[in-house]
Structure 1
Amino acid sequence: MSSSETPRKTLLVFCDSLSYYGPTGGLPADDPRIWPNIVASQLDWDLELIGRIGWTCRDVWWAAIQDPRSWAALPRAGAVVFATCGMDSLPSPLPTAVRELIRYVRPPLFRRWARDGYGWLQPRLSPVARPALPAHLSADYLEQTRAAIDFNRPGIPFVACIPSVHVAETYGKSHRWRDATVTAITDWGRRHGVPIVDLKAAVGDEVMSGRGNPDGIHWNFEAHQAVADLMMKGLAEAGVTTVGSGG
């Protein structure tokens, strides 16, 4: 590329597994059927997808300040999408820090016992459990991340999400903390001019009808397309223009 050419923009997406799981399980970050790639393709941008299963808005903050991929992508980023908060609003019978320590239990036999025991308890205790991340902390971590990125790239467009829905037996079909998370993130977005994409509006029919992933929480490709459609509207609201409109 010559010095006179404009660098190709990147869509920087911080996400949990909803963004890269399909109807049968996890998919590579470059799978064209998941919504981040659909959106990047429509924008004619590259995609940098940074995420992991179970991530909350707190993990987005850590990724933004610790993951060198985010540092490399930021100078080229045309917009940043915060596609987490679903896990934040799910019930967690154990505090997140304790639950995540299960993977480190040794010896392996004890780890399997701990994992199986938690798997048995989670659906039974979820209806009375606290959320994985309290709603006000979800908004706080989003703002810390937004402010840090905006400090380095003043004026860069942001889009965030409010939680999807689920019918997952592993969580006892409980989602009683969703409304609090919706309110906290919506209020945060309003204060800072960040458009909010309602994932429930995009995927609710597919998930609640059982047409999504059999686990009751991840999506089919029709849902990914619906999310992409709403995400394009959110990006337009944030000030991003598509190639077709001259951006």
Structure 2
Amino acid sequence: MRLLVLGDSLTFHGPAGPLPADDPGLWPNVAAAALGGRAELVAGFGWTARDAWWALTGDPRVWALLPRTDVLVLAVGHMDTLPSPLPTYLRQGLRYLRPDGLRRRARALYRAAQPVLSRATGGRPVALPPALTRRYLSDSLRAVRQFRPGLPAVGMVPSVHRSPLYANVHTGRAAGERAVREWAAADGVPLLDVPALVRAHLRDGLGNPDGMHWGWESHRAVGTAMAALVEAASVRRGTPGGP
């Protein structure tokens, strides 16, 4: 069974930092191993549902993977809910600043200001408004099923965090979760309840020191639960795409 996972850094970031996509401890690979298959990961730092849509429509690697995919895992929506004191285009545009010294200073200033601004603005605006999260998830699934009718898909309830980088502010998560659940109900997509699996782990400081990314215990729990969710949705080897 082949899983095509479209995700953010929660798919490839371990307890000490980012890792290669094929690291066996990462939850997509834990899930695939439990299902007797493999995971193909297309992901990036800070990816939202909009980035997943862009990958589906603009990345030829994804086009090549889709014919051989048995299950689509839309592992986005988590970062959509984070405070974003600067508009996304300005925040992401920091990487283009030159010379290098100016870029480094601008990034350091933003990182220092982000927790203060997150608290001052009450966690708003968020990285992607809930209505757009729902829209891009829906559009992504619709686009894939134009090409692969009936391809099974699963999603995720947005994760939680205790990140000093955001002053532990996460007031936008509830609205983000509602949007994801509304999309899932409308499109018949099973969801993995990620907060139930990782909340205690993060609360007890057992994940990455950044308070957002997960330790190996959470990766194992999420991967195992994802495999069970796929099985519960009657997704088995032999679905279109083959083992």
Instruction: State the TM bucket, normalised to the shorter chain.
Output: over 0.9
> Contact conserved, 2:12 with 2:21, CA < 8 A, in 1?
yes
User: Which of 85, 95, 99 is matched with 1:107 structurally?
Assistant: 99
Gaps of 5+ in 1: 1-8
Distance 1:231 1:85 in 2: 16
Q: 1:190-229 CA distances to partner (integer Å, 9 max, x unpaired)?
A: 0110001111011111011101011110001110111112
Contact 1:39 1:228 in 2 (8 A): yes
Secondary structure of the residue that 1:88 maps to in structure 2?
Answer: helix
AA in 2 matched with 1:14: L
Residue 80 of structure 2 aligns to a residue in which SS? coil
1:134 corresponds to 2:126: no
SS in 1 for 2:73: strand
1:21 to 13, 32, 54: 13
* Cα RMSD for the two superposed structures: 1.4
2:184 is matched with which residue? 189
The corresponding residue for 1:10 is 2
Name the structure 2 match of 1:206: 201
SS of equivalent to 1:156: coil
What does residue 33 of structure 1 align with?
25
Q: Which residue of 1 aligns with 2:44?
A: 52
Shift in Å at residue 45 of structure 1?
A: 1.7
What secondary structure is seen at the aligned counterpart in 2 of 1:44?
coil
Task: Report the identity percentage.
Answer: 45
For residues 125 and 193 of structure 2, what CA distance do their matches in structure 1 show? 23
Residue matched to 1:6: none
Scaled by the length of structure 1, what TM-score is found? 0.92
- Match of 1:49, SS state, is strand
CA drift at 1:241: 2.6
Measured in 2, the distance between the counterparts of 1:109 and 1:19 equals: 31
Partners of 2:178 and 2:47 lie apart in 1 by 20
Say which of 232, 236, 244 aligns to 2:227: 232
The answer (yes or no) to whether the contact 1:162–1:199 under 8 Å persists in 2 is yes
* 1:242 CA drift (Å): 6.1
Pick aligned residue for 1:180 from 153, 175, 180: 175
Aligned to 1:72: 64
In 1, the alpha carbon distance for the partners of 2:228 and 2:132 equals: 27
Higher relative contact order (CA closer than 8 Å, sequence separation 6+): 2
Aligned length: 236
Kindly indicate whether the alpha-carbon contact (under 8 Å) linking 2:34 and 2:224 is maintained by their aligned counterparts in 1. Answer: no
SS at match of 1:13: strand
The one-letter code of the counterpart of 1:112 is: R
Report what 1:4 is aligned to: none
What is the rounded CA distance, in whole Å, between the counterparts of 2:233 and 2:141 in structure 1? 14
